[in-house]
Amino acid sequence: MKVLVGLSLLVFLVGISYRLYGWLTQTVLTTDRTASPGRLPSALKGLMGTLFSGELFTLVKTFFTDVLFQKRLLSKSALRWAAHSLIFFGFIALLLMHGLGTGVSEFFFSDYLSTIQPYLSLRNLFGLMVLVGLGIAIYRRLTDKPQRVKSYASDWLAIAIVGAIILSGMVLESSKISSYSAFTTMAEDYGDITEPDELMPLETYWAAEHGLISPNIAKPYDPALIEEGREIAGDACMECHAPAQSAFISYSLAKVVGPIVSGLGDEGMVNFLFYLHIIFCVGLLAWLPFSKMFHVIATPTSLLINGVMGFKEPAKDPANELNRRMIGLSACTHCGSCSELCSSLMFYESFQNDFILPSEKVQLLKKVAAGQNVEDQTLANLQKGLYICTSCDRCSEVCPSGINLRELFISSRYQLLSQGIPETSMLSHFSFPLSLTRNFIVDHKNALKKLEKIFKDSFTRLKDLTSITVSDPVQVGTTSYQSCYSCQRCTNICPVVRLYDDPEVELDMLPHQIIFSLGIGNKEIAMGSQMIWSCSTCYLCQEHCPNKVELTDIFYNLKNAAIKQIEGGRA
């Protein structure tokens, strides 16, 4: 067992070192990779500057308010806070009091023994807390409708392995309560009871009142033997063993588990359950750095850093800002809080692109930052999800890990654009003005010019026509354009047209010309017009059209058709 524990600890330490290295070298911005060599000194300088300054008090305050008691989470969701607190405090208490009992509990409590009170009851209480917390977490994931909280196999595996540790521990304890071999070992080694005239009364007492399943004792139990056994137990056992009923869950479970264990082979089953419990525990230890469970380290680190720096204030050192961003990626617990309240949910419901949801963007960005291979179509979906974003910052506000998701998403857009994937959503008013920040104006303009060139090269322009032909009516979701008689009222009232001295040059086609092109059956030049993208969707043209032509709605249809044609050609 010591070898197994040692190997799992070694794997854990190697994994932690690997993740720390990733924090200091990975990035979601290609241009930031040159900063990697200076990120470790910057991190150490920032740490020392915090520990040896007045910011230390802020660090301590953040530890209690945000890390231990999860103030941010409580302010957003009492149910999620309850689930987190039950799992966190229950598991940590079990780890300190039971898993590290020799090193921790015995240090603080000189009389510590796992089989006496209050430790026997507390172990069951803490295990119950974890199970209730896991139950709340499972309920939340299963009842989220529509399914905005996505669950991966890794999420269920994390829940399963924590639950397996608790349940295997309870089953192990219940098997020991009912085990005849465990009883005889206890009587011989600790009570020095080997004589039949003492062993039989003690055995009868434990069978009657402590859940022991004995091959030698059958009901009804002899009251005289029970009382005699009680006296022997009081002298030899109770000093280091509280009544089994104190383990209120395990004792109840023993009534079910005991007969099964006894039937399959008492001593062998106890040993099997012991090693199974140990394997679950050391398995979690070894797996933790390589799994989503790493957030148990990353999230407190992220909260502490943000507590000192300010949750939305940029770091003074650009290298530390990048470090914080990478730690933030690891700190994501995939809880789905950001996705539940995302202001772009209407687009997710329509497009069914998972990467419109903030929580799903983060999961894939982890792979992008680590340099892992991602399919081109998946990257394209991620890029679209990054642009179908209102930049409202609601995701950052509700994130219990304190991750500045808005800045993370804005930064990530340009790494993907640098790979040459055009993003048609850039032309929409939905994301274009909101996506600009002072750090990325040039990047955005350059990407936009490339996209505009793709559109110009993909469609025939009005100025390129050498002749005009009349064809069959086109499909644009409505036939109202057939009522147009070119009064030009739409063009005259359009605020975009009035913005330019020479609108025909800037916009390619004016609103009435677009409708005329549809009337003669030429949808191609309408889709290639800059006017449909410059349209502010104010609906003035549609509201003032005397023949009720649905111009703004037609423009929407033309934009969608143009994007579909561009993306279909790319595929």
Amino acid making up residue 127: G
Instruction: Read off the amino acid at residue 71.
Output: K
Question: What's the half-sphere exposure (Cβ side, CA atoms, 13 Å) at 561?
Answer: 19
Coil/strand/helix, residue 95: helix
CA–CA distance, 303 with 309 (Å, rounded to integer): 10
Task: Compute CA distances 106 → 2, 6, 96, 97, 195, whole Å.
Answer: 20, 22, 10, 9, 33
Per-residue pLDDT in tens (0 to 9) along the chain, 571 residues = 778 888 999 999 999 999 999 998 888 765 554 445 578 898 999 899 999 988 999 999 999 999 999 998 888 888 889 999 999 999 999 998 888 877 788 788 877 888 888 889 999 999 999 999 999 989 988 887 656 677 888 889 999 999 999 999 999 999 999 988 888 888 777 767 777 777 888 888 888 888 888 888 888 888 888 888 888 888 777 778 888 889 999 999 998 988 888 888 888 999 999 999 999 999 999 999 999 889 999 999 999 998 888 877 777 788 888 888 899 999 998 888 888 888 888 788 777 789 999 999 999 999 888 888 888 888 888 988 888 887 788 888 888 888 989 888 887 877 777 766 677 777 765 555 545 555 666 777 777 778 888 888 888 777 777 677 788 888 898 999 999 988 999 999 999 999 899 998 889 899 999 999 999 999 989 998 989 988 888 999 999 999 999 999 999 999 989 888 887 764 3
- Largest Cα separation within the chain, whole Å, is 116
- Buried (b) or exposed (e) across 9-40, using 16+ Cβ within 10 A? eebbeebeeebbebbbbbbbbeebeebeeebb
